[in-house]
Structure 1
Amino acid sequence: MSQTHSGSGMGPGQQPGQQPGQAGQNRPGQMTAVMRAVAQQAGPKVLRIGLVQGGRVIEERIIKQRTSVTVGTSEKSMFVIPSQSVPASFKLFELIGSDYYLNFLDGMKGRVALQTGISDIEGLRGQARKVGNAYQVRLTEEARGKIVVGETTFLFQFVAPPPPQPRPQLPLSVKGGLASQIDWDLTIIAAFSFLLHFGLIGAMYSDWMDPPVNEDINIQSLIDPLKSLPATPTETPPETATSPEAKATAPTKESGATKTSGGGPKGAVSDKAAAALSQQADAMQMQMLAAFGGNSAVQGALNRSDIPPADLSGVASSGAGVSNTGGDLRLGSGGGGVVQPGKAGGGLAGIGNSGGGGVGAGAGKETAVKGPTGDAQIGATTASVPVSNAERVVAGLRPKFRACYNKGLASDPGMAGGVTIVTKVAPNGEVTAADGSNVSGLSPDVVSCIQRVVRNAQFDAPGGSGSTINIPVKFVQQGK
């Protein structure tokens, strides 16, 4: 038993499951100390400040960069507090050289743990240095405590600076970007295909493949062939059906014009040829007038040789006389006037006044035809609030109503009907609105005209909130 106990016994400090000789290698707390030594950063410590208001920590900040800490009401302060007991920006913790100093004023409270022990703010005034209105105490890296400024409490201590945070890096799938997602083989093939196709199209529409032009060619050699081209033929007026006498004279005139033009420059027309063409045009115009009349009265005047064909007024007043039975100028069956030479009123103007009864016959008495007229009948008006002069004003509008109706009869002679004008009268008597209702038989233009007449009316002031007047108007044609 003793041997079994001695063989299976554990040495002092040996844990269950440990081999002999390992009891002193893993002591409790040993790894914690190693980890603490590794985690501790080299360099001076930094301030860690907590802001307490109303019994709650509302902000906690580690001042990673060793700099002065300011408090106050100014927005430029590191900690903004609602306290009037300190200036707008007060250096509560001031960095002088490489050491921090605590600055406090009269009225501040708190406790600070220093190397000499824990002391109240009032007790530190004796060993503090006076700088202006503030007291200044040097702090070591082991110092900690709280400072009460008004209703705000600052908790502070010195801690090791936190390790720098590594910059965030994107995953490799995102780092590649768009370039890693492109199929470069397909892209290169598509690019060469576009270049080839557009290159061929560009070559087809460009002048690269045109033969070069020899600039040494003489321009005169290009002009000489143009001189041998025939002249542009001139158009001749087409022949029209004329009288036998005109046909007989036409070749003579054309031959004369040809001979005259032959002596002048090519393409020019002589004055004689121009006069002949103008005379032929006048003859054609008069023949067309005769054709429109359906008889040969004008044709006979055109065939006269002693009167110019373009002067019909001269033909009518000539000594040959004009009659509807004989003579060269024969009137159609519709005319019956006879113009004697030497009489007043000769010429074509006298023919226009003939009425088939000889000279001096009138064209009849002129009678003016008047269109239908109408009358406006105004019924009994009703008003929501009595207006003293409503009946008189409405009666005065009757002629204007009738004028609107007569204007509408000009476009629609059979129009008749009625309308009720709903008139809104303001408290001062002005008409603010005039709307037509119960419209029957009247055109929209007549109704709009009546509304404009009513809108321009002026009534006595009804007071209050105004009044609404209903004006019934009936329109009938006179004589019905």
Structure 2
Amino acid sequence: MAAQQGKVLRVGVIQGGKIVEERVLPARQPVTIGTSPRNTIVVAHSELPPSFQVFSCQGERHTLHFREGMDGRIQGAQGTATDFAALVSQGHAKAQGGGYAVPLREDERGKIVLGEVTLLWQFVAPPPESPRPVLPKEAKGNHFKSMDRLFVSVLVGSFLLHSGVYVALANTDLPKEVTLEEIPERFAKVLIPEKQPAPKKVEEKKAEVVTEAKPEAKKDAAEKKPVEPPEQVAAKKAARAAAVAKAVQSKGILKVLGALGPSSGGGAVADVFGAGGGMGDVATALSGAGGVALATDPGAGGGRKGGGQGGKASIGDLATTGGGSVGYGTKADVRVSGSVQADEAEVDSAEIDQQKLASFVRARMGLIKACYENALKRNPGLKGKVAIRFTILETGGLSDITAAVNTLASPDVASCIVGTMRTWRTQFKPSGPVTVEYPFVFSPVN
């Protein structure tokens, strides 16, 4: 039953009544057939499975494999043929791996029918190995003869030149380092320039001269100014007082005060300021005021107003009712307090953890509460709901922040929350933008 050493397997493939392939396989090599390109025999356009093992090799022996129901036969040297069913019934085929295995001899041949494909096999002597082709010496040529002479000459010359330069530089001594004392004087002047003397401070001296000259200039100006006589000074004061009185009579309520009274030929200024004559200026006139009197203007349609007698009254004669004392309190800010509750957020992606997002918002709830309490100072009864819609980007930042719902009736609170959330950056890194709607409920505490 053992196959002699040196025999190889010859296989022919028949498909559609035609031989499509014939091969001599190397010794001791398993044979597979199927539609997969990794098989030993590939039959692409067929109903075969991707791979099926037909022959295996155990040592020096070949074994044929087939499955139950598969058609085929084995023919011996005497010409007797036995089909697969008879091999199974006689016990020559042994069950193995969901099929049957039959050991083969070198003088046996046979066929296997695999659907539309028929496989013929037999053992033959291996073909002699063809000698390896060797080129003759004339075809091989000479490496030196095939090279370009000009190129080789330039290459050799360049190598010699660079080698000579390298040897010359290697044998050249490096120049000795020169110290600062050994540098020639003409080079030292160029490298180290002489230090120039510092300029003198001329501006300070000029300032001192000007400062000392100022008192002398003032003294000369005072000596040159002429001294006016007392009569000229008194005349100037009288002219200035007359101009002031004329200006008073032409200005609104001052015109009323400057009107003439029926009791005297002077104006009401004389009634108000007293009977002193020859006032020098306004300050002097006001120093004589003793009370308040209502004057009339003859040119304005005459008569005293209100039927009064034109008497004088001082500030002390004016009395008020309910003369109680008024107390002043200290300034204090009204302290308000609000409550902020966050409802469950609406997230359109499973990549964002609801609990982690809620913890992130709770850690920053003080900023949102501050926006509400600032508005609560102006409106203590302010309460309602604000739902903020935003998008979490791949970087963790927030964008498209808007107030989707606002029943608080205060756009300032919603704007403050939106501005605060623009600076937030979450720890989430989603694969794409995620839209979130987060509701906040606001109510006053006191």
Mark yes or no: TM-score above 0.5. no
The interval holding the TM-score normalised by the smaller chain is 0.3 to 0.5
Higher relative contact order (CA 8 A, sep 6+): 2
If the length of structure 2 is used for normalisation, what is the TM-score?
0.34
TM-score, normalized by length of structure 1?
0.32
